[in-house]
Every structure is written in structure tokens, then in C-alpha cells.
Chains A and B, each alone.
Chain A
Amino acid sequence: MDSSSFLPAAGAENGSAAGGANNGGAAQQHAAPAIREQDRLMPIANVIRIMRRVLPAHAKISDDAKETIQECVSEYISFITGEANERCQREQRKTITAEDVLWAMSRLGFDDYVEPLGAYLHRYREFEGDARGVGLVPGAAPSRGGDHHPHSMSPAAMLKSRGPVSGAAMLPHHHHHHDMQMHAAMYGGTAVPPPAGPPHHGGFLMPHPQGSSHYLPYAYEPTYGGEHAMAAYYGGAAYAPGNGGSGDGSGSGGGGGSASHTPQGSGGLEHPHPFAYK
């Protein structure tokens, strides 16, 4: 209920905050029910490239075969997604995870796919960085344990309500962050891509405004130092997101209690006005 009631307001806020980009995202979200023809199928060039990997050089592919494969892929995605979503609903969860997808495949007879994809998912998480790789899996447990923290559910729900709008505008990677409170806070950072840092911390402000105010003096220094330390280690703009994440990691190292408040303090410093509305 809270989630649905906040959806329009959140969309409006995102639109005003980010300008054209998020407005486009909102429009895209509104257009979702009436999915366009070109969005219903995988790009044919990609499909053909993959098909050719398993065909001999002299093989030719008729146009109707190409179109049939396109249709089959979309049907496959819908088939697996439907099964994965049913499991989510049975367990009263809102987010379809990679594990749900793998489970659905094994249930629907695609057992041969599960092990290779499990290996792929594992390597993908390694690629995302040691810090994130370590944090992601333990983070899943708190997500499931979210039911035991009723006080934190409401803020998380408010943040999650903005997920679809922003997700439509930005890469699906960011959508993952809605799964739990900390991830929801991270999502705030991705709502306004150009100034990544400030919105990132601003997002953390939402769940604990009081705590944020209380930890203002302490929050700034560890985040700043963390960023510099990681910059020296990873180097270059290419690792900017990891740099920010590592900085947060340094902050959390200070202690369990202060860890959750450190970024929020920085958020208060950076953007009191945009989030004061909430």
C-alpha cells in the first residue's frame, strides 16, 4: 500500500531532480503496459551473431528462421520469468533474484543450464569487485531477515517505490539495490547519475534522518579518507564506483552502529533540501 501510494510522488521527485533523463524514464515506465513491438524481441543482429557461433561457415539462415528464434527467445524469457515470479509471490517477496531464475530453470526442465549459469553468476560477482562481491552475498541474508525489522520496513518501502521509474531510465544493475534497506539507500545515489557522490549519500539520509543529523561531525572524514585510499589502490576514473563503495566500506569498518549512519551524515551535508521534503 505505502509502496503504491508513493509511486507517483517518487516519480515526480525523480523527474524534477534529474530533469530530462528521469522524465524519459517515467514515460518509459508508463509505456510499459503497452510494450512496443521492437521491445518485445531480442535484437535480430545479436541473435544472428549467436546462432552463427554454432553453425558451420557455409550455413545460411533463412529470414523466417531468424524471426522464429527471436520469438522463441522472448517466449523463453516469459516462461522462466513466470515460474520465478510465482515462487516470489509464494514466499511473499517482491524482487525476482538471479537465484529465482536459476530455480525456475531447474524446475522447468532446463537442468543443463543451471550449473553453467551458476558458475557464470559466481564469476560475475567476482568481477564486480572483491569488496562488492563479499558484501553482496552476506547482504542477501539481511534482506531475507528484513521481516524481523519492522521499524526499517517503511523507509525501505518508500525508497523501493521509486525503483520502477528509475530502473526504466538506467541500467538494470541499479535496480538490484531495492532489495534491502541498505541497497535502497544506495539506490538514492543512482537516482541522480551526474553528481553520483552527493545523491549516493543523500539516499542514505532517508532511513535515519535523526541519526544522520547526530552523526554529521563524524561521517565526513572517514568517507573522504576512504575514497582517497581506494583511489590510490585502484586508480583512475574507471573504478569510480568501486572507489565510492570502498569508502563506504571504510566507514562501516569503524563499527556496526556508526557504519549504517556514516553515509547518511554525508548525505545531510550535501543535499538537505531535496530530501527534506520526505
Chain B
Amino acid sequence: MEPKSTTPPPPPVMGAPIAYPPPPGAAYPAGPYVHAPAAALYPPPPLPPAPPSSQQGAAAAHQQQLFWAEQYREIEATTDFKNHNLPLARIKKIMKADEDVRMIAAEAPVVFSRACEMFILELTHRGWAHAEENKRRTLQKSDIAAAVARTEVFDFLVDIVPRDEAKDADSAAMGAAGIPHPAAGLPAADPMGYYYVQPQ
């Protein structure tokens, strides 16, 4: 006790977790992504074929490719892993708002921090496209609603953005821009015809 106290270890730096010794005989798995084994164990289900895209769809797809290429470039350029653009404590609180959630690994909020950035960027990007179609320079709630209505992966947000607003916005956008409806063949009176609830 006495000798040890002469050299007390300094307190841990905020945000830097204390390391722990690796198990004896454990080998670091090779490969570009650490999560690859998990992905192999649980391959994602095959996605339904994408709907036929028009010229507008092709342009949008190209923009999306540029978007994700930019995401990769930003991730490769990331050097600061201590300061996140979104507070980890807040993310954790939102995760734990679900009473069924018990414990959360330290890396989960870190991944969410980046995922939410990408989510905000994608939603804003798609919303801005709608604002531009209406010759506006102010991003409005109706633009977000239109982006949600047009993007299948954002279906879980229909309760956050009123459907009426989305419907009106989308119809107005279509009328103003003279763009053919994405889901060709569906009745014009039902812009939300392509919507369906994904199985839980």
C-alpha cells in the first residue's frame, strides 16, 4: 500500500475508455471491416427489385452515388474520434427511452452518432431537391414531408410528418414541375399508392 501510493496513476482522460488486456492466445481477425463476421452470420434479406426509374430517377440515383462516395471520403478523412457531432449521452438517453432496452455497448452510440449524421444529410439533401423544384431557397417542413413521401426507407417517419402535408406538397410539386409520377400506372388521385408497411 505505502510504496504504491507514491506513484498514483493519473485520472483517465475524459472520453478515453480504459483499455484492458487481450485474452491470451487471441488473434486479431484479418479483413477490412471488423464487423464482417457478424454480417456473414446474419446476411441481410434480399431487397425487392427497385421500381423502374425515369430520367429523373437516373439523375437522382447518380446524385445518391455521389452522396455515398462523399460519405466514404469523409469517413476515411476522419481523424478526431473524441469529439462527435452529436452528443453520445443524448443518443444513449433516446435509446434507453425504450424500457425494453437494458444495456448499451459503448460503441453503439458512436456508430449512431455517425449514422444520424448521414441520416440528417440524406433527409436534408432530398428535402432541398424538393425546395429547388419549387424555386424556393428556404427549406420548409413540406420539403421534408415530400422527401419522406418519396423515399421508401423513410416510411417509419410518416407519423412524424403529417401525411396530408406530404400529399399536398407532393401533388403541388408534381403539378408545378410537370414531373411524371414516380409510380407510373397508379391512379393520379392517390400519390401515396406505393406506400406499404414493412413487416416488423
Contact = CB atoms under 8 A, between A and B. Distances in A.
Contacts of B39: 102-103, 106, 114, 118
Contact of B88 (A101, A111, A172, A270): A172
B123 to A, nearest CB: 6
B191 interface: no
A59 B95 contact: no
B12 A240 contact: yes
B179 interface: no
Contact of B18 (A51, A96, A97, A186): A186
A98 to B, nearest CB: 4
B87 A80 contact: no
**DSSP class of A's interface residues: helix, strand, loop or mixed?**
helix
Most buried by A among B7, B44, B76: B44
A123 B75 contact: yes
Contacts of A190: 12, 17-18
Given A77-B94, A121-B35, A122-B34, A60 B138 contact: yes
A96 B39 CA distance: 15
A65 B99 contact: no
Contacts of B90: 39, 42-43
Interface size class of A (residues with CB under 8 A): 35 or more
Interface in A161-203: 163-164, 167, 171-179, 182-183, 186, 189-190, 193-198, 200
Contacts of A19: none
Interface residues of B, number: 104
A248 B182 CA distance: 60
Interface string B86-123: 11111111111111111111111111101111111101
Contact of B103 (A33, A163, A241, A256): A163
Interface in A88-145: 88-89, 94-103, 105-125, 127-129, 131-135, 137-139, 141-142
A192 to B, nearest CB: 10
B120 A141 contact: no
A135 B23 CA distance: 7
A127 B138 contact: no
A96 B104 contact: yes
Contact of B22 (A123, A134, A195, A270): A134
B196 interface: no
B27 interface: yes
Contacts of A54: 121, 124-125, 128
B195 interface: no
Contacts of B23: 135, 138-139, 141-142, 182
B95 A50 contact: no
Interface in B122-146: 123-125, 127-128, 131, 137-141, 143-145
Interface in A68-92: 68-69, 71-82, 84-85, 88-89
Contacts of A84: 108
Contacts of B20: 132, 135, 139, 177, 182-183, 186, 245, 248
Given A75-B160, A122-B32, A195-B8, A98 B101 contact: no
A129 B19 contact: yes
Nearest 7 A/B pairs, CB to CB: A245-B19, A138-B26, A176-B106, A197-B9, A135-B22, A252-B21, A106-B44
Interface of A: 32-33, 35, 39-40, 42-43, 46-47, 49-51, 53-55, 58-62, 64-65, 67-69, 71-82, 84-85, 88-89, 94-103, 105-125, 127-129, 131-135, 137-139, 141-142, 160, 163-164, 167, 171-179, 182-183, 186, 189-190, 193-198, 200, 220, 224, 227, 237-246, 248-249, 251-252, 255-256, 259, 266, 269-270
14 contacts: A39-B90, A82-B98, A101-B111, A111-B47, A112-B68, A115-B33, A127-B81, A133-B28, A138-B28, A139-B20, A186-B18, A238-B13, A240-B10, A244-B19
